[in-house]
């Protein structure tokens, strides 16, 4: 499996992961954010398929930052939300970790790439993956500090003021 084929599979796996996480979430705003992350992974996959076929492969400009900002505002305007389940918070953390691994993968491969088009595409995907990481980091922090979330482990003394 070459680098591009591996990247295609990685993006497929990312899309599936976000769709599964989206299905487990009951909060409409979180569902929307996860759906957009899944769509972005599918878009990355499609562009990589074009690259593998030696066709023009350009990552379209993402609107995810603006969309996510609006969705986070809506989430924050509502009553503080409790995490649906502790395992969900764990999954969001896992998703954040996967995005970090994607950033590392594409950074390493962009440095080693011998083609300008591949390097440019990987650099664009790195920027997208960094945005995904930042969104998930915000989501993890929002949920971890949600009212009632501190009950996830009663053995720990929480000093955060709520």
* pTM score of the predicted model: 0.73
pLDDT band at 99 (very low <50, low <70, confident <90, very high): very high
Q: How many CB atoms are located within 10 Å of the residue 135 CB? A: 25
pLDDT for res 61: 76
pLDDT for res 38: 93
Is CATH 3.50.50.60 the right assignment for the domain spanning 3-152? Answer: no
For 50-80, the pLDDT digits (tens) are 888 888 777 777 776 666 666 666 655 655 4
């Amino acid at each position: 499996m070459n680098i591009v084929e591996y990247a295609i599979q990685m993006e497929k796996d990312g899309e599936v992961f976000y769709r599964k996480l989206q299905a487990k979430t009951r909060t409409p705003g979180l569902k929307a954010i996860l759906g957009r992350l899944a769509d972005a992974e599918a878009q990355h996959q499609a562009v990589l398929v074009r690259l593998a076929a030696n066709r023009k492969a350009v990552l379209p400009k993402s609107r995810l930052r603006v969309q996510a900002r609006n969705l986070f505002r809506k989430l924050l305007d509502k009553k503080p939300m409790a995490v649906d389940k502790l395992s969900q918070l764990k999954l969001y953390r896992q998703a954040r970790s996967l995005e970090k691994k994607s950033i590392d993968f594409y950074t390493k491969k962009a440095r080693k790439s011998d083609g300008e088009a591949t390097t440019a595409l990987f650099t664009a995907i790195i920027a997208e993956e960094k945005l995904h990481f930042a969104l998930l980091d915000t989501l993890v922090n929002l949920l971890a500090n949600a009212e009632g979330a501190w009950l996830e482990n009663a053995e720990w003394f929480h000093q955060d003021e709520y």
